[in-house]
Chains A and B, each alone.
Chain A
Amino acid sequence: MACLFFAAALCAVAQGLNPAALLKPPTNTWPTYNGDYSGRRYSTLKQINSSNIGSLAPAWAFQEHAVPLKCTPLEVNGILYLSAPDNVWAVDARTGREIWHFNRPSQGDHLASRGVAMYKDRLYFGTPDAHLICLDARSGKAIWDKQIADVKFGYYLALAPLVVKDKIIIGTSGDSSDVRHFLEALNPETGKIIWRWYTTPAPGTPAARTWPNTQALLHGGGPAWLTGTYDPELNLIYWGTGNPHPVLAGTGRAGANLYTCTIVALNADTGKLVWYYQTSPHDTHDWDSVETPVLFDADFHGKPRKLLAQAARNGYFFLLDRTDGQHLLTAPFVPTDWALRINAKGQPIPNPKMEPQPDGSVVEAGPEGATNWNAPSFDPQTGLFYVNGHVGYSAFYLRLGPNGDPQGHQGGAVTPLVSHAFLEAIDYRTGKIRWKRCEEDVSGHPGILTTAGHLLITADVSGNILALDPATGKTLWHRYAGGPMNSSPMTYVLDGRQYILTAVDRMLYAWALP
Chain B
Amino acid sequence: MLAELAGWLGAAQEPGRQIFEQNCSVCHGADANGGAEGPSLIRSALVRHDEKGNLIAPVIRNGREGKGMPSFSLSEQQIADVVMFLHAQVEASDNTSARLPSKDYALKLLLTGNAAAGKKYFFGRGGCSHCHSPTGDLAHIAKKYAPVDLQGRFLYPSGAAKTATVSLASGKTASGTLVYLDAFTVAIRKSNGWYHSWPRASVKVEIYDPLAAHRALLHQYTQADIHNLFAYLETLQ
Using CB atoms and an 8 Å cutoff, list the residues of chain A in contact with chain B.
150, 152-154, 176-178, 219, 247-248, 286, 353, 357-362, 364, 367, 393, 395, 397, 399, 401-403, 405, 407-410, 412-418, 437, 439-440, 460, 462-464, 475, 478
Chain A interface secondary structure, helix, strand, loop or mixed? Answer: loop
B49→A152 contact, CB < 8 A: yes
Contacts of A361 in B (CB 8 A): 223
Asked if B65 is an interface residue, CB under 8 A from chain A, the answer is: no
Contact flag A412-B151 (CB < 8 Å), given A152-B45, A178-B43, A403-B29: no
- With contacts A359-B112, A393-B156, A475-B183 taken as known, whether A353 is within 8 angstroms of B215 at the C-beta atoms is no
Judge whether B99 and A417 touch: CB under 8 Å. Answer: no
Within 8 A of A (CB), among B189-237: 215, 218-219, 221, 223, 226-227, 230
Cα(A358)–Cα(B105), bound, Å? 10
With known contacts A360-B110, A362-B221, A418-B218, A410–B33 Cβ distance under 8 A: no
B170 within 8 A of partner (CB): no
Q: Out of B45, B110, B221, which one reaches A359, CB within 8 Å?
A: B110
Taking CB atoms, residues of chain A closer than 8 Å to B180 are 462
CB distance from B20 to the nearest CB of A (A): 15
Closest CB pairs A-B (n = 8): A462-B182, A152-B48, A417-B156, A176-B94, A413-B101, A410-B98, A358-B109, A359-B112
**A397 and B105 contact, CB distance less than 8 A:** yes
What is the count of residue pairs linking A and B with beta-carbon distances less than 8 angstroms? 116
Contact yes or no, A410 B155, CB < 8 A: no
CA distance in complex: A416, B230 (Å): 17
Q: Which residues of B contact A412 (CB under 8 A)?
A: 98
Report which B residues bind A (CB closer than 8 A): 29-31, 33, 42-43, 45, 48-49, 92-102, 105, 109-113, 148, 151-152, 155-156, 180-184, 215, 218-219, 221, 223, 226-227, 230
Nearest-CB distance from B156 to chain A (Å)? 4
**Chain B residue with minimal CB distance to A413?**
B101
Cβ–Cβ < 8 Å partners of B156 in chain A: 393, 417-418
A410 to B230, CA, bound (A): 25
6 further A-B pairs in the complex, CB-CB below 8 A; given A177-B93, A397-B101:
A362-B218, A395-B151, A402-B31, A413-B99, A414-B99, A464-B184
Name the A residues within 8 Å of B30 (CB-CB): 402-403
Q: Please measure, in the bound complex, the distance between the C-alpha atom of A357 and the C-alpha atom of B148, giving whole angstroms.
A: 13
How many angstroms between the C-alpha atoms of A101 and B4 in the bound complex?
A: 39
Q: Name which residue of chain B comes closest to A479, CB basis.
A: B184
Residues on the B chain within 8 Å of A393, using CB? 155-156, 218
A414 to B98, Cβ gap below 8 A? yes
Which of A395, A405, A437 has most chain B Cβ within 10 Å? A395
Chain B nearest CB from A6 CB (Å) reads 54
Q: Nearest A residue to B35 by beta-carbon distance?
A: A403
Question: B94, A362: Cβ atoms under 8 Å?
Answer: no
Closest to B39 in A: A215
Residues of A within 8 A of B94 (CB): 154, 176-177, 408-409
Are A415 and B218 in contact (CB-based, < 8 A)?
A: no
A108 to chain B minimum Cβ distance, whole angstroms, is 12
In whole angstroms, what is the CA distance A410 to B227 when docked? 23
| A487-B20 Cα distance, complex, nearest whole Å | 47
Interchain CA distance A313-B31 in the complex, whole Å: 33
Q: Contacts A153-B48, A362-B226, A409-B93 hold; do A460 and B98 have CB atoms under 8 A apart?
A: no
The answer to whether A413 touches B218, judged by C-beta atoms less than 8 angstroms apart, is no
| Alpha-carbon separation in the docked complex, A243 to B123 (Å) | 41
A357 nearest in chain B by CB position: B223
A80 to chain B, nearest CB (A): 29
How far is B47's CA from A195's CA once the two chains are assembled, in angstroms? 29
Q: Which residues of B contact A364 (CB under 8 A)?
A: 218-219
Give the complex CA separation of A398 and B109 in angstroms.
10
Chain A: CB-nearest residue to B42: A177
Determine the chain B residues whose CB is within 8 A of the CB of A353 once the complex forms.
223
